[in-house]
Amino acid sequence: MKKILFLLVSIMLLLGMGLPVQAGLERVGTARLTVTSGNITHIVQPGETLFAIARRYGVDPWALARANGLVNPNYIFVGQQIVISSGSTSTGTPGGVHIVRYGDTLQSIASTYGVSVWALAQVNGIYNLNYIYAGQRLIIPGSPTSPTPAPVSPPAVPPTPTPKPAVTQPVVSAGGTWRGEYYAGTEPTGEPVFIREDRAVNFHWGLSSPDTRLNTDNFSVRWTRTINFQGGLYRFTALADDGVRIRVAGMLILDVWQVGAEVLHEVDVILPPGQHPVMIDYFEGTGNAVMEFSFKRLGDTPPQFVSTLTPVGTPTPSAYQTGIPSHAWLGEYFGNVNLSGAPVITRMDDFIGFEWGQAAPMDGIPDEFFSVRWTRMASFWEDNYAFCVRADDGVRLYLDGSVIIDEWHGSKGDVASCKEVDLTKGNHKIQVDYYEEGRDALIYVWWERR
């Protein structure tokens, strides 16, 4: 008995001395996380946003997005793994928590700890940068960030994966068929089990397998084909159970890469005339296997909706009731600061998060005195949401035709503003107007369910 007691005491002493303990799965509140090699892997739970996760761990949300390869900070899904570096959390930093004193400002506190005002505001859920109060406890981000983050200008067309030449340069199959590459795992990478020509992507395998060479579960397919498009507005439709990704002309227009029931997805895209590659990735987890794909031309240009609202100093805003992909913005780029005339360039942007600095957004647009209008439809739950913008220079954000954020003025640095709104469940129209009048150009837009 004495030996057993001695052994138990010894183990407790060793644990108290801080000897390494095996990594394991923990549950903190409603969140699930794994601690491995000093890093934290957070498992996204229903209702969570990237900004809420960043605030939970005291890190810069933009740094968190970049570290996890997230090009759209508004789009994460339940079950996704978000890695938080051990060096980026607020725990263990010299400041840790700052108690606001009389005379403090957010700017002075950020300067004291060597972090950006924006990171400090995001970590603490502050939407009005001019409002803090004495006695307030502010978490200091653990990974200092400079006031001006490094440029992260995305390319004009979202990047495509390059596992092998046949993927990045889809071939034209004989007779207009699809080249189907069938894989044994849920990721279409490596060498396919077999390749065949499919006349159409229209399969209801149910609980069966596409071929005796594949299992009934946990397989994936990549279909590629080059199609001659007339040009105009096209609607792409996918009925999938489970995950599906679609790329057209190099643009990722649909990305629902997760296990789920049979769901119909529709995405509207504007395409120039010509030959464009189309790539469809699909995976089956368990249960039924369904994959249907089709598209149709809706017309030359999206039908326009003219709002009755006429803001001062800005032309009557126009938004599109159709033509807005579910996870992308229709961006109209103008060679002036008034959003006037026909846009010089129209393209689809995965997200609004650009730091162009003193460079032009793209060829054909000046590096100063230009403007952009982004429009899209987005689906929301019935809840309270915080809509936020960060811009240099002017920006306006419209929700269902009404201005909710109005910062239409020049600035000597980036200006941040947020507005909380109660939304009904369903689709809502969002429009963002932006202009650049000189020096640095920067624009970020996002929202967070409160």
Q: What is residue 313's predicted lDDT score, i.e. its pLDDT? A: 33
Q: Indicate if the pLDDT at residue 127 is higher than 50.
A: yes
CB 170 within 8 A of CB 224: yes
Q: What is residue 357's predicted lDDT score, i.e. its pLDDT? A: 85
Please enumerate in sequence order all residues whose Cβ is within 8 A of that of 238, keeping only pairs 6 or more positions apart, or say none.
Answer: 244, 246, 254, 264, 265, 280, 291, 292, 293
Q: Quick one: average pLDDT of 194-209?
A: 92
CB 166 within 8 A of CB 224: yes
Q: What is residue 54's predicted lDDT score, i.e. its pLDDT? A: 77
Q: Indicate if the pLDDT at residue 31 is higher than 60.
A: no
Identify which of 198-207, 269-278, 306-315, 405-414 has the greatest average pLDDT. 198-207
Q: Half-sphere exposure (CA, 13 Å, Cβ side) for 71?
A: 14
CA 384 – CA 422 distance, rounded (Å): 4
Instruction: Give the pTM.
Output: 0.41
Q: Quick one: average pLDDT of 358-368?
A: 87
Q: Quick one: average pLDDT of 79-99?
A: 61
| pLDDT class of 39 with cuts at 50, 70, 90 | low
Q: What is residue 350's predicted lDDT score, i.e. its pLDDT? A: 73
Q: Which residue type sits at 325?
A: P
| pLDDT class of 348 with cuts at 50, 70, 90 | confident
Q: Indicate if the pLDDT at residue 254 is higher than 60.
A: yes
**Which residue segments constitute the domains of the chain, with CATH numbers given?**
23-84 (3.10.350.10), 97-139 (3.10.350.10), 165-299 (2.60.120.260), 304-449 (2.60.120.260)
Q: Indicate if the pLDDT at residue 24 is higher than 70.
A: no
